């Protein structure tokens, strides 16, 4: 008489050598695998905690302490550092008033960052389009030219811009040689100089993401738009722009965030009069000798950057859901 086959559930729970059922053995193997992964990633985690989290923790502690007489801090709890980010005490009656200097520097930083982002967008999109539409054998050469500035130190690039726009620089000498102006135009130590310099410095950060987006563009859709009697501007606005929008957003974030915390370019081209947020933070840790305020300003800048990144992540995730 033939044997009746055992049920599938009984077979799945059949004991294996060692006295463990198959499900328990799989769970134990999974736990072992997880422990192994954690042990392998432990050095990287410790490095991140030591070199990134620990300095941030020190700055958090410093922001709630009292400034020292000659720099450093006194270990006395105080919230003055955070208050002085946007407020300051009147020297006569000790009342709180708006910190006009900090607010003007903050506004200049945001304004110049937005202007720089727009300028890099205006120059970066045509540049990326030009590179992406070259024959495949020649794109590498043009990309090489775009990335050449990254081979040079930021300070060297900024000084090169200084040589262009200073009173005895190339631009003024050319304008005077052509008799367009009678005397040099004062461009150094102005917001124009800072914006011009940051546009040059951060332009590749806009070109590369936009190039990556244009390179993935299906040009048959553009041809289809022209077949449907769409003009160049209509095809760009209705077909090309929506498809390269992720690259534009990524490039804008890559430009806007470094501009907010820029230090070298405003310091060299703006002088001591046109400070930006990064210069203000350095001033508090240097000549200002107010480390708690410098730490509070640093975290204020970090909060602005985090808001920008969160906005970017939500915007891109929303677009991905829409595409799906």
CATH number at residue 163: 1.10.3720.10
Buried b (16+ CB within 10 A) or exposed e, 176-197: eeeeeeeebeebbbbbbbbbbb
Above 60 in pLDDT, residue 96?
yes
Above 70 in pLDDT, residue 319?
no
Classify residue 262: in a domain, yes or no: yes
Angle (CA) 70-74-75 rounded to 5° is 165
Name the strand (E) or helix (H) holding 233. helix 232-235
pLDDT at 9: 46
Residue 72's pLDDT band, with cuts at 50, 70 and 90, is: confident
Classify residue 213: in a domain, yes or no: yes
Q: How many domains does the chain have?
A: 1
Residue 291's pLDDT band, with cuts at 50, 70 and 90, is: very high
Half-sphere exposure of 181 (CA within 13 A, CB side): 11
Domain that holds residue 195: 104-323
pLDDT at 82: 94
pLDDT at 268: 92
Half-sphere exposure of 152 (CA within 13 A, CB side): 16
Question: Which residue bears the tokens 């922001």?
Answer: 63
Beta strands per DSSP E along the chain: 66-67, 73-74, 87-89, 96-98
Per-residue pLDDT reduced to its tens digit, 128-154: 999 999 988 888 999 999 988 888 889
Classify residue 92: in a domain, yes or no: no
**Which of the pair, 11 or 119, is modelled with greater confidence?**
119
Classify residue 48: in a domain, yes or no: no
Task: Give me the percent of the chain exceeding a pLDDT of 70.
Answer: 92
pLDDT at 111: 94
pLDDT at 324: 56
Classify residue 56: in a domain, yes or no: no
Contact present, 65 and 77 (Cβ < 8 Å): yes
Classify residue 61: in a domain, yes or no: no
Report d(CA 194, CA 171) in Å as an integer.
16
Classify residue 259: in a domain, yes or no: yes
Contact present, 196 and 165 (Cβ < 8 Å): yes
Above 90 in pLDDT, residue 121?
yes
Average pLDDT over residues 52-72: 89
pLDDT at 104: 93
Report d(CA 61, CA 38) in Å as an integer.
30
**Which of the pair, 112 or 3, is modelled with greater confidence?**
112
pLDDT at 204: 94
Report d(CA 209, CA 124) in Å as an integer.
10
| Element counts in the chain: helices (H) and strands (E) | 15, 4
Classify residue 71: in a domain, yes or no: no
Above 90 in pLDDT, residue 34?
no
Per-residue pLDDT reduced to its tens digit, 176-195: 999 998 999 999 999 999 99
pLDDT at 151: 87
pLDDT at 323: 59
Average pLDDT over residues 14-32: 68
Could you give the residue ranges of the DSSP H alpha helices within 84-217?
A: 100-132, 136-147, 154-165, 170-177, 191-215
pLDDT at 107: 93
Per-residue pLDDT reduced to its tens digit, 187-244: 999 999 999 999 999 999 999 999 999 998 888 888 898 888 888 889 888 899 889 9
């Amino acid at each position: 008489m033939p044997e009746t086959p055992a049920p599938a559930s009984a077979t799945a729970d059949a004991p294996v050598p060692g006295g463990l059922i198959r499900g328990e053995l799989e769970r134990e193997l999974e736990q072992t695998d997880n422990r192994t992964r954690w042990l392998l990633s432990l050095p990287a985690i410790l490095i991140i905690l030591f070199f990134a989290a620990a300095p941030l923790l020190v700055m958090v502690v410093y922001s709630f302490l009292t400034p020292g007489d000659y720099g450093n801090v006194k270990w006395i709890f105080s919230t003055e550092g955070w208050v002085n980010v946007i407020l300051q005490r009147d020297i006569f009656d000790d009342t709180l008033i708006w910190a006009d200097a900090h607010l003007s520097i903050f506004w200049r930083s945001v304004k110049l960052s937005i202007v720089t982002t727009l300028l890099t967008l205006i120059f970066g999109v045509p540049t990326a389009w030009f590179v992406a539409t070259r024959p495949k054998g020649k794109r590498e050469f043009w990309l090489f030219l775009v990335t050449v500035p990254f081979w040079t130190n930021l300070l060297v690039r900024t000084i090169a811009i200084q040589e262009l726009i200073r009173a005895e620089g190339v631009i003024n000498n050319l304008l005077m040689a052509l008799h367009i102006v009678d005397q040099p135009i004062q461009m150094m130590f102005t917001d124009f100089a800072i914006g011009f310099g940051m546009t040059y410095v951060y332009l590749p950060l806009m070109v590369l993401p936009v190039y990556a987006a244009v390179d993935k563009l299906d040009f048959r859709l553009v041809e289809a738009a022209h077949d449907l009697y769409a003009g160049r501007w209509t095809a760009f606005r209705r077909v090309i722009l929506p498809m390269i929008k992720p690259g534009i957003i990524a490039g804008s974030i890559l430009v806007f965030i470094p501009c907010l915390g820029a230090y070298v370019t405003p310091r060299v081209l703006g002088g001591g009069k046109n400070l930006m947020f990064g210069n203000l933070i350095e001033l508090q840790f240097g000549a200002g000798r107010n480390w708690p305020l410098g730490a509070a300003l640093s975290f204020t800048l970090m909060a602005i950057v985090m808001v920008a990144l969160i906005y970017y992540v939500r915007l891109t995730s929303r677009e991905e859901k829409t595409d799906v």
